[in-house]
Structure 1
Amino acid sequence: MAIKQIIWKHTARAKYLRTTRWYFDNMGLKAADSFMRGIAENVERISRQSAIGKREPLLVGHPEDFRSLVVHRHTKIIYYCDTQNVYIVDLWDCRQNPAKLKIT
């Protein structure tokens, strides 16, 4: 199986940076590093096996086949794939109201 290229959408990248900064400011370097490593390891897993995440039930009905993978305590990566790429569209805090999950 070919390794797919990872493409971060702007919103997902911004949430990643904001969340990493929050961990650093509020929990310290060790927690921020743990968060970053967890994301990086799981993004690598997704690039090698894109069907590893479950179909995201909150996004049924979209043309893309959105999948999600819980990657850190309260965070899941939401993504979709084509034949060559994996598009990371959101880092979702699972503690939020599910009705707020909107992909544009």
Structure 2
Amino acid sequence: MQVEWKKQAQREVRAVVIYSVEHFGERTALLFYQKIKMWAERLVIHPELGSPEPLLAGRKRLYRSLIVHEHHKLIYYIDEIRQIVYITDLWDMRREPSRLSKRLK
């Protein structure tokens, strides 16, 4: 398996890291970024590590979520044929849950 980051997920990670640098400092932002990358790398070996995401149930794809930080989870799906884990979003769990399904059309 390999991991591929969708643009939405890349934008969200970038935004959270920038916010973290501004409010918590470079060290904290770097630790946050490294933690996200570590969990993404684990998906290469264990793609079903995350749980099916109930907020995205009934979709064409089975979306999974993996909590990577106190307030954030990675949203992803697995393409078994291509052997790729697509990370589609980094979701702040403090947001209104119904907005998640609107973000991933």
Matched, 1:59 2:63: no
Runs of 4+ in structure 1 over 4 Å off: none
Structure 2 residue runs of 5 or longer lacking an equivalent are none
Q: C-alpha separation between the residues in 2 aligned to 1:63 and 1:95?
A: 26
Q: Deviations over 1:40-90 (max 9, x none)?
A: 110011111000000000000101110000001100000000121000001
Shift of residue 92, structure 1, vs aligned partner: 0.2
Aligned match for 2:44, one of 32, 35, 47: 47
- Any idea what SS the aligned residue of 1:101 has? helix
What residue identity is the alignment partner of 2:19?
Answer: W
Find the counterpart in structure 2 of residue 25 from structure 1.
22
What TM-score comes out, normalization by structure 2 length? 0.93
Find the counterpart in structure 2 of residue 90 from structure 1.
89
Structure 1 residue runs of 5 or longer lacking an equivalent are none
Q: C-alpha separation between the residues in 2 aligned to 1:44 and 1:67?
A: 15
Find the counterpart in structure 2 of residue 81 from structure 1.
78
- Any idea what SS the aligned residue of 1:92 has? strand
Shift of residue 25, structure 1, vs aligned partner: 1.1
Shift of residue 24, structure 1, vs aligned partner: 0.7
**Aligned-residue CA RMSD in angstroms?**
0.7
